[in-house]
Structure 1
Amino acid sequence: MEQAVHLDGITKRFPGVVANDDVDLAVEKGTVHALLGENGAGKTTLMNVLYGLYQPTEGTVNVHGETQQFDSPRDAIDEGVGMIHQHFMLVDPMTVTENITLGNEPRKWLGLTVDSEQSRKQVRELSERYGFDVDPDARIEDVGVGVQQRVEILKALYRGADVLILDEPTAVLTPQEVEDLFRVLEELTDQGKTIIFITHKLGEAMEAADEITVLREGKNVGTVPADDITREELAEMMVGREVLLDLDRDPAEPGRSILEVSDLVVEDDRGVRAVDGISLEVRAGEVLGIAGVDGNG
């Protein structure tokens, strides 16, 4: 198959740190490719090199068979590479259409005025082409995180992206939104787009990707087909040793109360309640887990 991206011998050094160490990466066109590794493995740094946010200390970047030198994200965008960051870059009071077309609006009257109607039409057509359920006139502050992520994807597609990089795309999503995202990725690849998504979650990499590349301590330790490897094998590639993913433990026998919290309220620096009415108890001899999507306190 044709390669959409080929990174050859990428090394990226920062003062006192080698973030990427002679990394090769080949991504086939029209596939979903997971970049898997622990936090600090160099995944985001490598993709920032591909997107032009960083320039490699050594090595070359090839996109669609052409060697590229991306000195900025603008250069990468011009060559069809888009990136959706973990923390979205949207303007809350503006509409979906205004965010997607910002800086690239169609214009009328000899370029003196933004053609708002044409903008909405283009966004609506783009949304329908890829099966996105997005209202062009909705304000960003009024839609959920899952919709905001789709707006970011549409923003990249509007600028002509053929290769889409998603940085930890499931971190801020509910389980249902994760399933919706995976359907979106499938639709995009069906229409010839290439997806690279950064993750540290084994199950999601195996479910959504065609191939998985594992980074460990800045090095590529292997690329494998997603349907030809087990979770245990992937985990061992990630950490460099055998990992027990399922543990049999005797039920805990909690003792006396060590910590009690009742109706806790915490406001952020804007006066918005980040924690509202939380009560919990921690007892001796137990492990208490606190779970939730990013941004929920």
Structure 2
Amino acid sequence: MKHSIPTVLTIAGTDPTGGAGIQADLKTFQEREVYGMSVVTSVVAQNTLGVQGVEHLSAPFIKKQIESVLSDISPDVIKTGMIATTEMMVIIAEAIKKGSIPYVIDPVMVAKSGDHLMDVNSKQTMIERLIPLATVVTPNIPEAEVLLSESIESIADAEDAARRIVHELGADAAVVKGGHFKGDAVDVLYDGSSIHKFPTSRLNTKHTHGTGCTYSAVIAAELAKGKSIYESVITAKKYITDAIRYSLMLGNGNGPTNHWGYRLQGLPKNNGRVFQ
């Protein structure tokens, strides 16, 4: 049954300070005017200074959460963030495949500290089971390097990485985010046929906690509203740039972005091109 409003399910870990994970996703869904739902994979003790501890939920209980959602309010789009174990990935892949649901994957593999967040087996399962189901994959530079086992040092490298994620790993589209480049932050989208580049001037701030979660959540929300991948990435790029530009200056470390920062720039809530 078609819902009266678009619906999106996020499957991810938590952030008790609200800047990342499912908390950031749900805030973003609300701002983009879609109905957000969530399945928790891991409960994370973290703040703007770092991660203090993690407790993973059991794979059977994650499956039960997913079944609870899908049996009642089937989402128009599923988005995943932190998925720590192979068992979790297998369950999620089965649900996405069974429902033929459009899927946005934020491959949370490398922390801001540079620490890898999953082992080799989990990485391989993500590559083999989840990425081939993806409508869009949104790695940052370190994550794309892990997925492809290659160094990315230039925009040309990012373009090649986006193509490889589609043609070799099986995703429909890939956005390689350029926040780790020096100079302008240039994101590269490959949609299966064309390369699109989205540059913005670098903002001088340390308050970027949760940017990856928020960026991919916007893409999921826009896809749920029937927008194309290209249109969804345009909106996500503008949204996250405003969220960083008007950060809230919270916490003693890398603080969260501002999920209503777009209002200060007058970003259209549902329609309208942001980039030309």
Q: TM-score under structure 1 normalisation?
A: 0.29
Name the structure where helix makes up a greater proportion of residues. Answer: 2
**Which of the pair is proportionally richer in strand?**
1
